[in-house]
Structure 1
């Protein structure tokens, strides 16, 4: 992989450029971003990028001054591509004077940039070959060269001799994806893979180059004729056997993507591209762990979202914490991924959309999505969960967590709401209030409110309201010389006789008897 530094003072331009290309497929990786030339110089020293893509106009230090300083101060400067929004020939002349590799105008055309990057890959390969020794690093560089560009027969013979493989043979580029449920790069499987390949093909070949990629992926330049020496059966059966032994050797699951066969090593780039394309079918081939580019690339992929009905249904079931229902809906969504042949990007869009839907509900209920421990796992699932079954498992765990959290938030909300209602009753019991009027004020069903109040406080609403009014009536009877109808009105009774009846029912004496008792009268 060649490292790329993006330099632009606009963050959205940098983000857009990063998302514009499939950098990995072109053998590049973004190693950093800088927002001006001064910052870029520091990052060039620190990160040692192979290529810098810089805007021509930036504050502090512009693109041309950046290139000038880097080339003057460093013996081995990176390559540069200048990006400009200005159709200014003077800028272009200066850029060419500094040996800039390309001058691209905004808005950036994806095809134009891809063509430039492919050309630069050849330059970078040659540069690397000329500066490193013929040890292990050069083999990786030679493989990258073979996979990115065309060569003369003489060049191919030379490169093949360095790799110790035949040039005139039928080849397939074999892409091996280790599905270990670990963040990519956690374990370096290259030594194990190389040992496996050497042991599997044994005396039939001196060595086979294993191409180290990212995303837990490794590539193998495989002469097809070797398969007949180590196993019987057709090609599909042979690769199934190879994968089975590989799983056993690595101790984890593995998916294998076999590029289209080519007749000569010089055409291995075609097989490489087809193997990469077949990665897009990883979620479509039900339970298949060996995918052949020749078989799948003739079929179309689905690049849209799941049915709106399924999406809405899932969100509702999560909100209502219907575990059996949302488990079935998740299963239906993942079945649709396979049945409709979803591309990985479409799967990612669906997962992201559901996450946004869940987060919105949590925020509407005044909860916090940060309480969901599995949210980060789902936001970066592509770096860890590489098969559909792995993704479905972690996604369902997240849905369980989200549904349980929403139920907890709702429970706290109910508790908070009923406490607000109780405080309202305590402050307004002397007014003409009842269960129906309070339920209406708080947008609740009156029957539900009555049940919730009794469940929370162990007493019926009417009993609690009556007890508040009678206690206040007792205070007034003790402290004020009021008539009975006046006491009744002040504590919320519209009818004095009814007040007397309820007082006597609760206190086992009339209000008059209570007052006399307080005055010491018999």
Structure 2
């Protein structure tokens, strides 16, 4: 990050400028504020900012005087951007005489300032790169600059000389992801990784471009693989992966970008390696994810099919270990075969968790009682492959199934008998599966499947048969009108009642009444 000092005599202008920009995304951070040029002089020497953004008119010492004084006397020489409320050519002319980086009029336009900051960040990157020496390379700056911009020929020549690397050669950016099942940064693998790579590429004692990324990842730029001419790329990377896992004593995945034919073109290799991260759950890749093999394959961004999800929830409610294990196996096979993107995997896991939590809450339980809940909620912080995720998911599901059974406090068979008795007593009312499920603290899908398993018919079919049988009794024994009978047996609409009656009895309610009473 490059440091920025804001200098303006108006408090709200300073705060507005600080809040206007996403500074960190542009490689900058605010290191201080000053309300006049004199304060700024002291802060420049003390804080050594890389960039000073200064108002042109201020009390005590104005912006131009500050720049003049720093240029003439300062030990530290930052870059300057001038802000001015005066579109006066003479001011701008004088400012550029002092070699300021830009002259921006107030009110500040976000896009204009963003473009200026990007230009300055690139300039500072190039400046740092030019200071590289073989003894002390600025590795982080080198890699980040190569991945973000295409440096000038002068800078590239200096990098190549310092690192003893040819410019025109085959280079690849690789992301090595440590999959140790531990939170980010718990173990520092950087020294061991760097040493292993230096040995593998025969560069002991020489610089190698390796840097630390987020999420337990390390990025590095590698030259042509040693056996590239004699073996396939995948075979060579398999050897590299095997060596790294053996020497670092942990599970690792390699995400390998496209080859670049020149060191300054490594940004394309870096972006393609980033894209490979989306394929981490694809099948059969054995820890080696290559852009050349993967990036033409479509990713799946949706959820698993409703049938699979419903089966899992049903088996959890029934607390059948073989059943929910089988459902989980099927879900994880789908993840791999359809190339689920990480977001789609996350959504599927979250959907199952929400369904389980809702069941627990209906039973007046507390999901926080589940020891594996927090582990699964934050799985992305520790678990980075399907095997690890599946292990955590299985533990959570098993614990949740036992908890739900315990909270329900009785066997499923006993519960379903009570449900049937409830239906038999209330079928004339406006009852429905979801409402009954809530009454008995069950998931509606689970209840529907359990009812059919025990009684051989679907819930709706059983309800309809009860209502039609009662309607037949009323048709035989009373002279009530059709709409009255429909309402008495639980139908809200007389036409719908007539349609359903005819479907089951192959005759209309009127024909049935006539037949039963002997009328023609």
TM-score range, shorter chain: 0.5 to 0.7
Q: What is the match of residue 165 of structure 1?
A: 165
SS in 1 for 2:173: strand
CA contact (8 A) 2:279 2:339 kept: yes
SS in 2 for 1:202: coil
Distance of aligned partners of 1:115 and 1:343 in 2 relative to their CA distance in 1, 3 Å threshold: farther
1:373 is displaced (CA, Å) by: 1.5
CA contact (8 A) 1:165 1:207 kept: no
Unaligned runs of 5+ in 2: 5-13, 54-82, 87-101, 416-435, 441-520
CA contact (8 A) 1:51 1:80 kept: no
CA contact (8 A) 2:308 2:327 kept: yes
Distance of aligned partners of 1:202 and 1:137 in 2 relative to their CA distance in 1, 3 Å threshold: closer
1:268 is displaced (CA, Å) by: 0.6
1:167 is displaced (CA, Å) by: 1.5
Q: What is the match of residue 249 of structure 1?
A: 247
Q: How does 1:83-232 map to 2 (within 5 A)?
A: 103-104=109-110, 122=122, 125-126=125-126, 138-202=138-202, 206-228=206-228, 232=230
Query: What is the alpha-carbon distance in structure 2 between the residues aligned to residue 357 and residue 316 of structure 1?
Result: 11
Distance of aligned partners of 1:204 and 1:313 in 2 relative to their CA distance in 1, 3 Å threshold: same
Query: What is the alpha-carbon distance in structure 2 between the residues aligned to residue 3 and residue 254 of structure 1?
Result: 33
Q: What is the match of residue 384 of structure 1?
A: 382
Query: What is the alpha-carbon distance in structure 2 between the residues aligned to residue 227 and residue 97 of structure 1?
Result: 54
Q: What is the match of residue 329 of structure 2?
A: 331
RMSD (Å) for aligned C-alpha atoms? 4.6
TM-score (norm 2): 0.58
Distance of aligned partners of 1:298 and 1:287 in 2 relative to their CA distance in 1, 3 Å threshold: closer
Indicate which of 269, 274, 277 corresponds to 1:276.
Answer: 274
Deviations 1:439-470 (A, max 9, x none): x9x978xxxxxxxxxxxxxxxxxxxxxxxxxx
Query: What is the alpha-carbon distance in structure 1 between the residues aligned to residue 402 and residue 113 of structure 2?
Result: 47
Query: What is the alpha-carbon distance in structure 1 between the residues aligned to residue 192 and residue 103 of structure 2?
Result: 48
SS in 1 for 2:301: coil
1:51 equivalenced with 2:28 (yes/no): yes
Q: What is the match of residue 425 of structure 1?
A: none
CA contact (8 A) 1:80 1:100 kept: no
Query: What is the alpha-carbon distance in structure 1 between the residues aligned to residue 278 and residue 127 of structure 2?
Result: 32
Query: What is the alpha-carbon distance in structure 1 between the residues aligned to residue 105 and residue 136 of structure 2?
Result: 31
Query: What is the alpha-carbon distance in structure 2 between the residues aligned to residue 154 and residue 252 of structure 1?
Result: 41
**How many residues end up aligned between the 2 structures?**
357
1:411 is displaced (CA, Å) by: 2.2
Query: What is the alpha-carbon distance in structure 1 between the residues aligned to residue 439 and residue 151 of structure 2?
Result: 76
Distance of aligned partners of 1:321 and 1:191 in 2 relative to their CA distance in 1, 3 Å threshold: same
Query: What is the alpha-carbon distance in structure 1 between the residues aligned to residue 301 and residue 370 of structure 2?
Result: 29
Distance of aligned partners of 1:405 and 1:312 in 2 relative to their CA distance in 1, 3 Å threshold: same
Deviations 1:359-385 (A, max 9, x none): 222222211111112222112111211
Q: What is the match of residue 341 of structure 2?
A: 343
CA contact (8 A) 1:102 1:116 kept: no
CA contact (8 A) 1:122 1:148 kept: no
Q: What is the match of residue 291 of structure 2?
A: 293
CA contact (8 A) 1:283 1:341 kept: yes
CA contact (8 A) 1:79 1:100 kept: no
1:312 is displaced (CA, Å) by: 2.2
Query: What is the alpha-carbon distance in structure 2 between the residues aligned to residue 101 and residue 137 of structure 1?
Result: 41
1:259 is displaced (CA, Å) by: 0.8
1:219 is displaced (CA, Å) by: 1.4
Q: What is the match of residue 355 of structure 2?
A: 357
Query: What is the alpha-carbon distance in structure 1 between the residues aligned to residue 113 and residue 378 of structure 2?
Result: 27
Unaligned runs of 5+ in 1: 6-35, 42-46, 54-62, 82-91, 106-111, 418-439, 445-522
Q: What is the match of residue 518 of structure 2?
A: none
1:181 is displaced (CA, Å) by: 0.7
Q: What is the match of residue 431 of structure 1?
A: none
Distance of aligned partners of 1:264 and 1:332 in 2 relative to their CA distance in 1, 3 Å threshold: same
Q: How does 1:296-335 map to 2 (within 5 A)?
A: 296-335=294-333
1:195 is displaced (CA, Å) by: 0.9
Distance of aligned partners of 1:50 and 1:220 in 2 relative to their CA distance in 1, 3 Å threshold: closer
Distance of aligned partners of 1:274 and 1:410 in 2 relative to their CA distance in 1, 3 Å threshold: same
CA contact (8 A) 1:170 1:263 kept: yes
CA contact (8 A) 1:50 1:79 kept: no
Query: What is the alpha-carbon distance in structure 2 between the residues aligned to residue 117 and residue 406 of structure 1?
Result: 57
Deviations 1:224-262 (A, max 9, x none): 154459xx5222211111111111111111111111011
